[in-house]
Amino acid sequence: MVLEYLVRQHEWPINSVGRWGLLAGMILLADGQTAWAEALAPNLYLQGSQNLISGQPLRETPVIHGKGGTLRAKADMVSAGFSGSPLSYGDETVYASRTPFPNVSQSQSTPPGVQTFTSPYAYRFSAYGKDYAAAYPAPMLALKPGQKLDVDITNRLAENIGVPSDSLYETNFHTHGFHVSPLSMADNIYPTINDATGTSNAMRVRIPLPDDQPSGINWYHVHHHEQTNPQVYGGLAGFITVGDPLDPWPRYKPGGPRALKQLYLALSEVNLQKTDEAGHLAEPTGLTRLLPYGGTGSVTQNLGAGKIQANWQKRVNGQLNPVLRLRPGETQVWNLAATGAFGGYNLAITDGQLQQAWQATLLTLDGNASGSKPLAIPLSADPSRMQDRVANTLIMSGNRLTMAVTAPSEPGIYYLIDGWGGDNDYLVDTNNQQGFIILATLEVSGKPEHRAVPTFVADTPDYSLFNAPVDKRRRFEFSIKPSGAKQNPDGFLINGQPFGSATMPQLQIGTVEEWTLVNVTTGTAPNTKQANHPFHIHQGNFIVNAINDVPVDPRFC
């Protein structure tokens, strides 16, 4: 795929561094009662096994609000132990596992270059006299434009593992989506902390938001080069919001004349299994442990019976198939974010036969409510929509999406489903047809909503960047070294060079550049869908003006 886009420089320079048991028809509802729904379509899969309980009520994320001009908090970064000191992942108690996770920068491990365990990690916050338990997802940090984020962070990741940290737990703090300074101890991915001898394990992050920071949902996580993967996979991530995603439509905000319920749904894909003390699979007994991602195949390859323990689960707020409740005809606003290290999601909402698609309005993408252009869409299970690699409902790692969903007037059991198999492609089942997995169960019951479905009027769009003269053009080709070569840190290449080896482009404030991005699929270093990833720029907005040499018409997207 070739992607061209334009970017205008802003105040700060851009920092570019930077399964399946089929429990057909039976759903355990939040009140403990069992509801019987129709049998599921043959290509719709309910995640779970006898030891991974589904059907629990959705656990909403705790929220820490800023006060006055600042959100002041403290956060310890902690890990789970092997048989003690567990953490919570959603509604499950989880432990570390003695299974390897690739980690080339850890020189003291045995064998060298391999982390000898996989651990859940979490932030343990305290703010304004209240303590928050260490869990994934972490508390949501809620700020307003113009406020400052002020957080003391302490690295305690090695305490429950019993081994020296060295570079294994070198880490930092990063926000995703802010238009702020990357300098000093602001949103800077270069300062790090660990507990190695002679180093500090604490840092204080201060990030002042500008008054014109757009409203919307963003997220925070660790972002230290070569350590981001296992640490984000383990759970060091959470929502961070500015204002309200509904700021462009105040009548639907809390306190407005037609306030709508909002949910924040963190999507992640992990391998959480029942194992013995050594971290080996041990169904039906054993402790729940986080196993490494990789080695036994992708979601696409593992839709057959008998492979429950070998698969990854796609979870919502860390839970496996939680239950969400709506009244008939009710509209809710869902803020979704892929806050894990892996996983892609293309969303639909249907009944168990992949019919009766819900209506939705897509409101904002990637936390930017300014200049929003709402898009009404049926969340159908149409394979052509599921297999569209630029679908509006496709959420890859780091993406955020706010949408209003309206329940049907008919009570019943419905499902939030996903048609994407991991990061790389749409989901194909063992019969080579479009497959779907259930992310959450939706119970529609109670008093009907008789008011009209909410309408969202678009702001006046600004298309000026589409017509702006280009000051400089650049081309970036993404590739992976051939199979058998060292994959990390120099296996992923940009213009044939690993990160940090080539000259860094220097961009000038106030200029317009056009970049052509190429995902290399031929030649000596092909990238055959091994490293799909959304493209984003920190500290600035951009527009896509062509895909595969086909111009984008902003009036129809």
What is the pLDDT, as a whole number, of residue 32? Answer: 41
Contact present, 227 and 103 (Cβ < 8 Å)? yes
Question: Residue 120 to residues 86, 247, 408, 486: CA-CA distances in angstroms?
Answer: 9, 35, 38, 26
pLDDT above 60: residue 472: yes
Residue 15's pLDDT is: 29
% residues pLDDT > 90 (the chain): 44
Query: What tokens does 367 get?
Result: 């936390």
Name the pLDDT band for 48 (thresholds 50, 70, 90).
Answer: low
Report whether 359 contacts 406 (CB < 8 A).
Answer: yes
Q: DSSP states of 51-92 as a string?
A: TB---PBP-PPPEEE-BTTEEEEEEEEEE--SSSS-EEETTE
pLDDT value at residue 533:
66
> Is residue 170 within 8 Å of 1, Cβ to Cβ?
no
Q: Residue 19 pLDDT more than 70? A: no
Query: What is the pairing mode between strands 359-365 and 375-378?
Result: antiparallel
Write the DSSP string, 313-342. Answer: EEEETTBSS-EEEE-TT-EEEEEEEE-SSS
Task: State both tokens at 371.
Answer: 């200049």
If we measure between CA atoms, which residue out of 353, 361, 352 comes closest to residue 331? 361
Range with lowest mean pLDDT among 101-115, 137-151, 240-254: 101-115
The more confident residue out of 18 and 410 is 410
Average pLDDT in the 366-385 region?
Answer: 87
Full set of structural domains in the chain with CATH:
2-16+463-556 (no CATH), 63-252 (2.60.40.420)
Residue-level pLDDT at 35: 44
Report the pLDDT value the prediction gives residue 528, as an integer from 0 to 100. Answer: 58
Q: What is the pLDDT of residue 73?
A: 98
**CA pair distance 360, 405, nearest whole angstrom:** 4
Mean pLDDT of the chain: 80
pLDDT for position 14: 28
CA–CA gap between residue 439 and residue 320 (Å, rounded) = 7
Least confident of 23-32, 321-330, 529-538: 23-32
pLDDT band at 280 (very low <50, low <70, confident <90, very high): confident
**pLDDT of 12 strictly over 60:** no
Q: Which residue has the higher pLDDT, 30 or 215?
A: 215
Top-confidence residue, 443 or 24: 443
Output the six-digit token pair for 445.
């019951």
CA 300, 303, 309, 310 torsion-angle sign: negative
User: What digits encode the pLDDT tens for the residues 179-235?
Assistant: 887 776 667 878 888 866 567 789 999 999 999 998 999 999 998 877 788 899 999
pLDDT at residue 108, rounded to an integer: 44
Backbone φ and ψ of 272, nearest 5°: -105, 115
pLDDT > 70? residue 115: no
Look at residue 149 and tell me whether its pLDDT is greater than 70: yes
User: Could you tell me the pLDDT band of residue 83, with boundaries at 50, 70 and 90?
Assistant: confident
| Structure confidence at residue 165 as a pLDDT band (50, 70, 90) | low
pTM of the entire predicted model: 0.86
